[in-house]
């Protein structure tokens, strides 16, 4: 069993599932659903199995598999995971079956599920590819099903949103494609032959500073759009608001993480010198995003748009941690990627449930829901508190590690960024008050309480929110070695010095 | 026994989980008794730990119990660990002790509420969080409790969430507290950056070696956090609004326990305060004194029975910060404990009055209630004498300690403290007279306030009265824990010394004490003259009733320019940032649209274009370049 190509299967199973679903006759809707569910659960099971088999202290890539693909160009089917990608893979594996089982797209299940599974294959592939070309293929594949999911199952303004999403990401990807080819070609001299292999290029290539910076920015633009980093974020509120609930959950849960993950895996790893050089720019944009996103979220009138803007703020924290370049900050950032997927995913599910019942997401049309649906309100409260970052729940741990880790290398950015926690409380509690508090009016009086099936869908999310908040150690223990390895790589290949851990000062010339 | 210190917060947590699962089944009043029992059991464990700690020598009274590694941070890590030492166990004693009394009281007070069990769910969660706060052996565990009590406070203030004012008050409390939490977080970041640990023992141990600027930064940022949680200037404005919550909540959270967390934090990092530059402690003392006076002036003109007590609480907390800023941590803790006794008593008494008056809170519609509510009146009077600083009641001793320390720090601070004491005696006397003496004004009021039938105030049930009696006894004798006659009678100071050190003072105590007593009596006499004998007209200017219009000014700013600025950002996002995107989209589309017209498919047009191109090229080469 040790030779079982589990990573390859993580891509193939949902891809095959997608084809199967497309082939099954429309006259058997149950068969469609069962096929989709079985393949996604199978994938999820494999991802959990991966987690169980993952060697905690091993900082390198595990479960690797490599097969030649296009030999002449040095392109290979090279897959592997380390602590940075592990939990993103697990999150993807767990999120998809929940979305497929728990969220009803209402029409055309067959095509919807087929796109969903193709999307899963693409996302999985992006997180486990160790070959630049292969990564690019998966990164692009993801666009297509997402475009059709928004365009086909979204709300009123879906075509505009889907097009905007597609164009934004395509333009970013165009830069990255040029960057990938240029990187491979320029690294040819150092590698002896042309290769697109991530590890070979990162370990062997020695770009001139100016070259490295150009190449870094070609990658970074694509990822900054995906994150999204201020000021490239405006596709996100539209895409989120118009996407069907399942699409929003996946978009927030894992798709955005392809950007933050890409910055770490390809940006920082391939071009450490450029990443260090551009720190002030990215730190500043990240902090602007935190504050800007939070303020914009406060003033939204559409509940889903509000959650979308909160994502801009949350993802800003992750980018802050990434470019602070300390062990805690990046480890916290990776954890935050997963946390945000859980909390914001759950928020989108809850907002979706509100829409199902009331056919509106306008905050001003909702009122007093806590009185008629206390359990629903309680679930919303827990998820909201996690998103606010209350300690004891998952959102806090990542945010705290990012901030305390960044303090050593990016102090003044942290001082500003930390005020984002005030704004997070403001926009969520204000929205909560308007939607859940007060006496319900005529339209909201018959708001239905949480159903069993809905509760079952939310339960895993709430369980993870509490568990990761109280006992994040198993997760962090697996992330940190890989992060430390990356940072060692950075300090060896740039003039960046990791901050020394503080030692208690014994005596000081100042007053005692 | 010390090793089971984790049971102290675990019991209320277990209560929370059980009520979460079976609360509805238990119902009214069983869920309440169950919750009370859990906090009571926690109190019993605390007493056990207390005696175990007592049996050790002063140096050994420091026990850390680590449960598990919570957050790994690079090469360091933060544990979920508890610290049992004289300071934390003192806090635990009154948190669990008063906590269980208030739980019991709430069984009576909340009887009949449709969300009865949910109330106790929150109350147990609060007790758990508060105990985490005081027992945490590092700043992060304290922060867990800190945010936990803030969350519970939010949930409990807006417990009657159908009421818009309650919902708004809850949100306001949370957001204002978050401003303070920002300060707390910055303090943690500075401490971790400088010391490499968040453990109190590590931070305090390294305090002497810290650069003065670092210590000052940690102290002042932590103080910002304390200002939020303990309702000091300029962040106090959430506390008066927090009175929207049920009265047991006001007593437990917004008087006795949670609001003292800021004072506790400052005492906990006392060595860092020592190591900081002098102006840091001066700022703390000034803010404390200013808040004490400011809030006391407001309390003079309030007519809501709970609002008086709310501003009084802010004022008394100011005293505690005055003590902290003056370096008298024992005095701060002493006053924290006695204040917990008498303020919990006063709030519960007020709750009993409100209960008996069928939810009437306006003191102008009360009067002569001592005749119908004798126990409530009697115990309330004990609380009044305690807070007014009449010896031998508890408040006198602790307030006196603070005034002494303030006198040593700066005579102006002492004078501010004295004026505050005068006002305190005055407004509390006013309250007692308006509520319990004079004419019964509830008869003529019952129609306009829509009370059901003829309003018949009544004494409260035993569940509510018992805690009143216990707290009254404690308010009477509580001062005995720290009597200033000899070093051996200063038991609390001796007990806390290993943690917070001693405050040395050469000042003669007796003259200062006599001045304080005199000032208190003047305040009481003044209020009697005005409100009982009606010799003078009451001075209650509107500006004081409006709390110096501070709150309304802040609200006006937030709702006005603040909101406009936020709107501006949202507008800019939609029109400038996204406008640029849509603009370039439109530009591409527009240009493409025009360029497209060229591709008309009409051969004559192409021919014409080719022809004119040829002509232009010829002109270029022949005429301009001069070829041929």
A72 inside 8 A of chain B by CB? no
Output the pLDDT for position B559: 87
Confidence at A498, pLDDT banded by 50, 70, 90: confident
Contact at 8 Å (CB) between A325 and A276?
Answer: yes
Digit-coded pLDDT (tens) for B102-157: 999 999 999 999 999 999 999 999 999 999 999 999 999 999 999 999 999 999 99
Buried b (16+ CB within 10 A) or exposed e, B9-20: bbbbbbbbebbe
Q: What is the pLDDT of residue A504?
A: 47
Q: Which of A371, A411, A507 sits opposite B162 (nearest CB)?
A: A371
| Mean of pLDDT values over A256-264 | 95
Contacts of A415 in chain B (CB under 8 A): 186
User: Would you call B253 exposed, middle or buried from its count of C-beta atoms within 10 A (0-12, 13-18, 19+)?
Assistant: buried
Nearest CB partner across the interface for A391, out of B143, B209, B212: B143
pLDDT in tens, B169-216: 999 999 999 999 999 999 999 999 999 999 999 999 999 889 999 999
- Residues 6+ positions from B614 with CB-CB distance below 8 Å: none
Chain A residue nearest residue B172, CA to CA: A426
What pLDDT is recorded for position A508? 41
Mean pLDDT on A126-133? 95
B231 in Cβ contact with B321 (< 8 Å):
no
Count up the domains in chain A and report the number: 1
Residue written as token pair 């049309």:
A365
| pLDDT tens string A293-336 | 999 999 999 999 999 999 999 999 999 999 999 999 999 999 99
CA of A144 to nearest chain B CA: how many angstroms apart?
21
The pLDDT value recorded for residue A510 is 36
A13 to chain B, minimum CA–CA distance in Å? 36
CA distance A135 to A138: 5
B211 → closest Cβ in A430, A477, A508: A508
Contact B394, B476 (CB under 8 A): yes
Q: Average pLDDT for residues A207-227, to the nearest whole number?
A: 93
Whole-number pLDDT of residue A507: 39
Token pair belonging to B614: 């040829």
Interface of A with B in 148-187 (CB under 8 A): 164, 167-168
Does pLDDT of A505 surpass 50?
no
Choosing among B185, B276, B571, B575, which should be mutated to test the A contact, i.e. which has the most A CBs within 10 A? B185
A326 contact B CB<8A = yes
Q: Single out the residue of A377, A379, A399, A378 nearest to residue A388, CA to CA.
A: A399
CA separation for the pair A49, B587 (Å, rounded): 51
Using CA coordinates, name the residue in chain B closest to A288.
B569
B168–A504 C-beta distance less than 8 A: no
Per-residue tokens: B543? 């500006």
| Calpha distance B168→B34 (Å, rounded) | 31
Q: Do A328 and B74 touch (CB under 8 A)?
A: yes
Asked if B182 and A503 come within 8 Å (Cβ–Cβ), the reply is: no
Q: What is the DSSP string of A357-412?
A: HHS--BGGG---HHHH-HHHHHHHHHHHHHHHT-TTSHHHHHHHHHHHHHTTT-HH
Chain B touched by A427 (CB under 8 Å) = no
In whole angstroms, how far apart are CA B499 and each of B55, B205, B338, B340, B526? 17, 12, 20, 21, 41
Q: Give me B526's structure tokens.
A: 């003044």
Chain B residue whose CA is closest to A335: B71
Encode pLDDT of A363-395 as tens digits: 999 999 999 999 999 999 999 999 999 999 999
How far is Cα A262 from Cα A268, in angstroms, rounded to an integer? 9
B27: left (phi over 0), alpha (psi -120 to 50) or beta: left
Interchain contact A305–B (C-beta under 8 A): no
Give the domain range for residue A282.
278-496
Q: What is the pLDDT of residues A433-450, one digit of tens each?
A: 999 999 999 999 999 999
Give B185's contacts in chain A (Cβ within 8 Å): 400, 403, 418, 421
CA distance B290 to B296: 10
- Tell me what pLDDT residue B443 has: 73
Please tell me the predicted confidence (pLDDT) of residue A511. Answer: 34
Taking CB atoms and an 8 Å limit, are B196 and A503 in contact across chains? yes
Residue A446 falls within a domain, yes or no?
A: yes
- Quote the mean pLDDT of chain B: 91
Residue-wise pLDDT tens digits, B554-610? 989 988 898 999 999 999 998 898 888 888 888 888 887 777 777 777 777 777 878
Query: What is the mean pLDDT of the segment spanning B609-624?
Result: 78
Contacts of B468 (CB under 8 A, 6+ apart): B105, B345, B348, B349, B352, B375, B376, B379
Among A163, A232, A234, A317, the residue to mutate for chain B (most B Cβ within 10 A): A234
Whether the predicted interface score ipTM is above 0.90? yes
User: Alpha-carbon distance B399 to B388, whole Å?
Assistant: 10
Cβ-in-10-Å burial (0-12, 13-18, 19+) of A88 comes to buried
- Return the DSSP state at B528: I
List the single residue in A231, A331, A438 with the smallest CB-CB distance to B164: A438
- Predicted confidence (pLDDT) at residue A479 exceeds the cutoff of 80: yes
DSSP percent split of chain B into helix, strand, coil, nearest 5: 75, 5, 20
Q: How close does chain B come to A408, measured CA to CA in Å?
A: 6
Higher-pLDDT residue of A290 and A30 is A290
Residue A334 touches chain B, beta carbons under 8 Å: no
Asked if A404 and B585 come within 8 Å (Cβ–Cβ), the reply is no
pLDDT digits (tens, 9 = 90+) for B438-496: 888 877 655 555 445 567 888 888 999 999 999 999 999 999 998 888 888 888 988 99
**Residues on chain B touching A328 (C-beta within 8 angstroms):** 73-74
- The pLDDT value recorded for residue B613 is 82
pLDDT of residue B444: 62
Average pLDDT of the residues in B274-286: 93
Residue-wise pLDDT for A167-203, tens only, equals 889 899 999 999 999 999 999 888 888 999 999 999 9
- The reply to whether A506 touches chain B by the CB within 8 Å rule is yes
Residues of chain B in contact with residue A407, where contact means CB-CB under 8 angstroms, are: 189-190, 192-193
Q: Is A305 inside any structural domain?
A: yes
Which chain A residues contact residue B9 at CB under 8 A? none
Rounded mean pLDDT of A2-7?
80
Please report the residues numbered 255 through 284 in chain B whose beta carbons come closer than 8 angstroms to any beta carbon of chain A. 275, 277
pLDDT band at A215 (very low <50, low <70, confident <90, very high): very high
Taking an 8 Å cut-off on Cβ atoms, the answer to whether A505 and B194 are in contact is yes
Which residue in A471, A508, A509 has the most chain B C-beta atoms within 10 A of its own C-beta, making it the best mutation to test that interface? A508
Contact of A500 with chain B, judged by CB distance below 8 Å, is answered with no
Does the residue A147 lie in any domain? no
The answer to whether the CB of B333 falls within 8 A of the CB of B259 is: no
Answer whether B570 sits within 8 Å of A233, measured CB to CB.
Answer: no
Q: Are B38 and B15 in contact (CB under 8 A)?
A: yes
The domain spans of chain B are 327-545, 554-624
Report DSSP state, residue A25. Answer: -
- Those of residues 219-238 in A touching chain B at CB distance below 8 A are 230-231, 233-235
Size of interface A-B (CB pairs under 8 A): 165
B82 phi/psi in degrees, rounded to 5 = -110, 145
Which residues on chain A are in Cβ contact (under 8 Å) with B190? Answer: 407
Q: pLDDT band for A503, please (50, 70, 90 cuts).
A: low
Residues of B in contact with A436 (CB under 8 A): 161
The CA distance from B442 to B456, in Å, is: 9
Segment B49-84, tens digit of pLDDT = 999 999 998 888 999 999 999 998 878 889 999 999
Q: Give the pair of three-digit tokens for residue B531.
A: 């409100």
Q: Do A391 and B73 touch (CB under 8 A)?
A: no
Q: Which residues pair with B407 in a beta bridge?
A: none
Chain A residues in contact with B188 (beta carbon < 8 A): 404
Those residues with Cβ within 8 angstroms of residue A2's Cβ, 6 or more apart along the chain or in another chain: none
């Amino acid at each position: 069993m040790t030779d079982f190509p589990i990573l390859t299967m993580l891509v193939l199973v949902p891809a095959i599932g997608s084809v199967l679903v497309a082939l099954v006759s429309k006259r058997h809707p149950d068969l469609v659903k069962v096929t989709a569910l079985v393949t996604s659960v199978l994938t999820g099971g494999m991802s959990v199995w991966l987690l169980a088999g993952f060697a905690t202290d091993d900082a390198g890539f595990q479960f690797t598999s490599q097969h030649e693909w296009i030999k002449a160009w040095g392109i290979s089917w090279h897959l592997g995971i380390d602590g940075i990608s592990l939990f993103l893979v697990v999150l993807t594996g767990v999120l998809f079956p929940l979305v497929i089982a728990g969220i009803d797209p209402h029409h055309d299940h067959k095509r919807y599920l087929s796109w969903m599974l193709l999307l899963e294959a693409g996302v999985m592939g992006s997180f486990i590819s160790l070959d630049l070309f292969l990564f690019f293929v998966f990164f692009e594949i993801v666009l297509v099903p997402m475009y059709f999911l928004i365009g086909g199952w979204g709300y009123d303004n879906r075509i505009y949103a889907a097009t905007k999403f597609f164009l934004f990401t395509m333009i970013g990807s165009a830069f990255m494609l040029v960057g990938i080819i240029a990187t491979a070609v320029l690294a040819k001299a150092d590698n002896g032959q042309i290769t697109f292999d991530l590890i070979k290029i990162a370990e062997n290539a020695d770009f001139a500073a100016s070259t490295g910076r150009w190449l870094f920015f070609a990658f970074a633009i694509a990822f900054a759009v995906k994150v999204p980093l201020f000021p490239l974020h405006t596709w996100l509120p539209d895409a989120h608001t118009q996407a069907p609930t399942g699409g929003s959950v996946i978009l927030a849960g894992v798709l955005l993480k392809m950007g933050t993950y890409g910055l770490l895996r390809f940006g920082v790893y391939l071009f450490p010198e450029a990443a260090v050089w551009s720190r002030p720019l990215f730190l500043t944009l990240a902090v602007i995003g935190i504050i800007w996103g939070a303020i914009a979220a406060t003033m939204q009138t559409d509940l889903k748009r509000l959650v979308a803007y909160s994502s801009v703020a949350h993802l800003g924290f992750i980018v802050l941690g990434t470019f602070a370049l300390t062990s805690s900050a990046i480890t916290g950032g990776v954890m935050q990627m997963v946390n945000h997927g859980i909390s914001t995913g759950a928020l989108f599910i809850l907002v979706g449930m509100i829409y199902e019942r009331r056919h509106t997401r306008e905050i001003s049309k909702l009122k007093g829901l806590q009185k008629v649906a206390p359990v629903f309100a309680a679930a919303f409260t827990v998820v909201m508190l996690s998103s606010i970052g209350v300690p004891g729940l998952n959102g806090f741990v990542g945010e705290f590690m990012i901030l305390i880790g960044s303090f050593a290398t990016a102090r003044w950015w942290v001082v500003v960024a930390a005020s984002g926690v005030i704004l997070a409380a403001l926009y969520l509690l204000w929205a909560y008050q308007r939607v859940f508090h007060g006496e319900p009016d005529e339209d909201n009086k018959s708001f239905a309480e949480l159903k069993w099936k809905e509760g079952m869908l939310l339960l895993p999310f709430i369980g993870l929110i509490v568990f990761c908040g109280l006992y994040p150690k198993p997760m962090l223990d697996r992330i940190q070695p890989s992060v430390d390895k990356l940072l060692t790589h950075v300090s060896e290949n740039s003039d960046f010095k990791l901050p020394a851990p503080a030692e208690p000062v014994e005596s000081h010339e100042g007053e005692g | 026994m010390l090793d089971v210190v984790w049971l102290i917060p675990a019991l209320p947590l277990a209560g929370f989980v059980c009520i979460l699962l079976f609360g509805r089944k238990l119902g009214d009043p069983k869920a309440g008794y169950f919750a009370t029992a859990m906090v009571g059991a926690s109190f019993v464990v605390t007493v056990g730990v207390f005696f175990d700690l007592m049996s050790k020598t002063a140096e050994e009274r420091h026990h850390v119990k680590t449960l598990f590694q919570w957050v790994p941070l690079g090469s360091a890590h933060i544990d979920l660990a508890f610290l049992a030492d004289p300071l934390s166990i003192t806090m635990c004693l009154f948190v669990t002790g008063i906590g269980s009394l208030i739980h019991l009281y709430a069984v009576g007070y909340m009887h009949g509420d449709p969300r009865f069990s949910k109330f106790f769910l929150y109350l147990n969660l609060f007790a758990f969080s508060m105990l985490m706060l005081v027992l945490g052996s590092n700043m992060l565990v304290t922060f867990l409790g800190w945010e936990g009590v803030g969350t519970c406070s939010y949930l409990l203030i807006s417990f009657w969430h159908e009421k818009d004012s309650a919902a708004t008050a809850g949100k306001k409390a949370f957001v204002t507290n978050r401003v303070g939490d920002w300060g707390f977080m910055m303090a943690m970041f500075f401490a971790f950056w400088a010391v490499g640990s968040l453990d109190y023992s590590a931070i305090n141990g390294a305090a002497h070696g810290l650069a003065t600027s670092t210590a000052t930064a940690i102290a002042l940022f932590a103080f910002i956090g304390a200002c939020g949680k303990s309702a000091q200037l300029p962040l106090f404005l959430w506390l008066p609004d927090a009175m929207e919550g049920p009265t047991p909540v006001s007593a437990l959270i917004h008087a006795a326990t949670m609001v003292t967390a800021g004072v506790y934090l400052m005492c906990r990092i006392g060595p860092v305060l020592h190591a900081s530059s002098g102006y840091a402690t001066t700022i703390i003392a000034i803010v404390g004194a200013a808040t004490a006076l400011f809030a006391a002036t407001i309390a003079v003109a309030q007519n809501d029975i709970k609002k008086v007590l709310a501003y009084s609480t802010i004022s008394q907390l100011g005293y505690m910060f005055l003590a902290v800023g003056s370096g008298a941590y024992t005095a701060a803790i002493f006053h924290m404990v006695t204040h917990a006794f008498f303020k919990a008593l006063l709030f519960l008494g007020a709750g009993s009055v409100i209960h008996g008056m069928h939810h009437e809170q306006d003191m102008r519609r009360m009067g002569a209630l001592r005749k119908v509510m004798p126990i409530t009146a009697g115990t309330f009077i004990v609380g009044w004498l305690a807070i007014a600083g009449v010896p031998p009641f508890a408040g006198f001793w602790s307030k006196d300690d603070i005034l002494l320390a303030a006198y040593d720090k700066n005579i102006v601070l002492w004078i501010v403290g004295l004026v505050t004491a005068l006002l305190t005696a005055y407004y509390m006397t006013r309250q007692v007279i308006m509520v319990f003496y004079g004419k019964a004004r509830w008869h003529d009021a019952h129609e306009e306030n829509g009370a059901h039938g003829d309003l018949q105030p009544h004494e409260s049930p035993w569940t509510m009265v018992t805690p009143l009696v216990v707290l009254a006894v404690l308010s009477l004798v509580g001062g005995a824990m720290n009597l200033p006659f000899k070093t051996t009678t200063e038991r609390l100071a001796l007990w806390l010394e290993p943690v917070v050190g001693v405050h040395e003072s050469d000042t003669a105590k007796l003259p200062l004490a006599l001045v304080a007593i005199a000032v208190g009596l003047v305040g009481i006499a003044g209020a009697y003259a005005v409100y009982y004998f009606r010799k003078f007209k009451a001075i209650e200017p509107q500006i004081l009733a409006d709390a110096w219009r501070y709150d309304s000014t802040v609200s006006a700013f937030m709702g006005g320019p603040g909101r406009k600025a936020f709107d501006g950002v949202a507008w800019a996002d939609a029109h400038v940032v996204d406008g640029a995107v849509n603009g370039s989209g439109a530009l591409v589309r527009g240009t493409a649209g025009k360029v497209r017209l060229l591709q008309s498919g009409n051969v004559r047009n192409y021919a014409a274009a080719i022809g004119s191109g040829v002509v232009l090229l010829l002109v270029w080469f022949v005429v301009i370049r001069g070829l041929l």
